[in-house]
Amino acid sequence: MLVLFETAAGYAIFKVLDEQKLQQVDSLWKEFETPEKANKVVKLKHFEKFQDTTEALAAATAMVEGKLGKSLKKVLKKVVAKEAHEQLAITDVKLGGVIKEKLNLSCVHSPAVAELMRGIRNQMEGLITGLPAREISAMSLGLAHSLSRYKLKFSPDKVDTMIVQAISLLDDLDKELNNYIMRCREWYGWHFPELGKIITDNLAYCKSVRKIGDRTNVASMELSDILPEEIEAEVKLAAEISMGTEVSEEDIANIMHLCDQVIEITEYRSQLYDYLKNRMMAIAPNLTVMVGELVGARLISHAGSLLNLAKHPASTVQILGAEKALFRALKTRRDTPKYGLIYHASLVGQTTAKNKGKISRMLAAKSALAIRYDALGEDTNAEMGVENRAKLEARLRYLEEKGIRRISGSGKALARADKYQHKSDVKVYDPSGDSTLPTVSKKRKIEEVEEGEEEEKPVEAKAKKVKREAPTEEEAETETPKKKKKKEKKKAEEESKPEEEERAISPAEEVRGVERLIHLWLMVHLIL
């Protein structure tokens, strides 16, 4: 068995003298305790030294990327190909596949091989003759520096790092500016409170405070280079009748220093924004056209790099930044969020609430294509982004105009669509669907009841008149006083009924009638 061992100085090919010792993996390290023992296990067959650091760097980068370098290919053809029946022990499995494919050599990688490589590395000075330890350490240090410089120079993520840092700094500057401006307005508001209501722009406010100082100077101050004429006149008028307190010159000096800080940070923020815009147009032009430079930079920052963002599917790009809401929705079994950072894109912002979900889904799909084109494509133009944005804008207009076309007819007229109404998630049972009878309005029902009562009134009155006949004298004499009282009570009740039926009974009258009956019943009960 042959062993391929890579060093900073060159490639070494070792011959394994006793292959049976490789079967004892746990005790293999004992065979490399001393250089004498190590020479009994392996023997140096060939050593190919690098000519300079450039060659060493090229070999190292090829090894890192899993490719077969020119110098390694030359060594393998020169030494190993002569003994093609021998197996080649290697450290990297990926490199072994490339060697087997191109040179048709049998490669081996196992825990025993890894332990063997560790032992050779431990006794490298004694196994590789003619190479001083000082020279090996110098070559290792030089190769390490060169490899680090190469990775930093040709790293595909190096520009993404600048974008990530720029957008993070921009967000931090916005937070600090808000704190500074709030403190400045509150501090100077004790002296001139009316100025804060008149000037709403923060930068103009700080510049005005920086120029005015004490409010007594406003009358003789010219603010036309900062404020319009109408606002300047309003500020001068407010300064004469201001309700603010007097402050010392030291306080004014501190406030003015704070205003200087706000103005400087605002100017630097605008400069940083221009830098970020140029960077985004250079690195991800299609993504910038689709969602804008700020949203695009935040997406790259959230994913870590443009290449990592390109690996995400469109569904992940859509909700990127809303992970907390997503997991909360999954935990509570509710609707998942429809958008994350992509919500701040201009296309989603100008859409109505009804269509925001649809537009964010379509925008995420097109943005995912744009990201992959920017990250993995060779061209640096934004033609694909412009074309996809035009399609999305056309689709947005179609949705906003309720573009549902009729199947029959001319096909040009828009079909009628019902007005959108928000439906609550809580569903209430509707009992109206249980009845199969046709529904009648309440007013119609009341009118039908009143008509029925008017038709029944004369019939009932006649019937009751027939019943109410005067009793004969003989019957009246035979009746006891108790029966007389009962009959009088019945007559009173019967006389009161037609009068109540002849009128349209309202709820208030019905209550009054019941009260009268109760009162009458109590009177009769007391008499009895």
Per-residue pLDDT of the chain (528 residues; tens, 9 = 90+): 788 888 888 888 888 887 777 777 777 878 888 888 888 888 888 888 888 888 888 888 887 777 888 888 888 887 766 776 778 888 888 888 888 888 878 888 888 888 888 888 888 878 887 777 788 888 888 888 888 777 666 554 457 888 999 999 999 999 999 999 999 999 999 999 999 899 999 999 999 999 998 888 888 888 888 888 899 899 989 988 888 888 898 999 999 999 999 999 999 999 999 999 999 998 999 999 999 999 999 999 999 889 899 999 999 999 999 999 999 999 999 999 999 999 999 999 989 888 999 999 999 999 999 999 998 887 778 899 999 999 999 999 988 887 444 444 454 444 455 555 655 556 666 666 665 555 555 555 566 656 655 555 444 444 444 444 444 444 444 445 555 666 676 676 666 555 544 455 566 677 787 888 888 888 887 787
Element (H, E) at 252: helix 249-283
CB 360 within 8 A of CB 339: yes
CB 105 within 8 A of CB 81: yes
Q: For residue 305, which of 154, 150, 161 has the smallest C-alpha distance? A: 161
Q: According to the model, what pLDDT value does residue 72 have?
A: 83
Q: According to the model, what pLDDT value does residue 474 have?
A: 44
The whole-angstrom separation of Cα 475 and Cα 471 is 6
CB 41 within 8 A of CB 74: no
Q: How many CB atoms lie within 10 A of CB 185?
A: 17
CB 109 within 8 A of CB 98: no
Q: For residue 246, which of 216, 205, 211, 210 has the smallest C-alpha distance? A: 216
The whole-angstrom separation of Cα 362 and Cα 395 is 9
Site of tokens 């999305």: 392
Helix axes 356-376, 383-400, angle to 10 degrees: 170
CB 376 within 8 A of CB 421: no
Structure tokens at 288: 């910038």
The whole-angstrom separation of Cα 284 and Cα 380 is 8
Q: For residue 342, which of 384, 297, 377 has the smallest C-alpha distance? A: 297
HSE toward the beta carbon, residue 411, CA cutoff 13 A: 1
Q: According to the model, what pLDDT value does residue 448 have?
A: 60
Q: According to the model, what pLDDT value does residue 394 have?
A: 92
Q: How many CB atoms lie within 10 A of CB 73?
A: 15
3-state secondary structure of 146: helix
Q: How many CB atoms lie within 10 A of CB 181?
A: 19
Output Rg (C-alpha) for the chain, integer angstroms: 48
In eight-state DSSP terms, residue 449 is: H
Q: Give me the amino acid identity at 501.
A: E
The whole-angstrom separation of Cα 14 and Cα 430 is 87
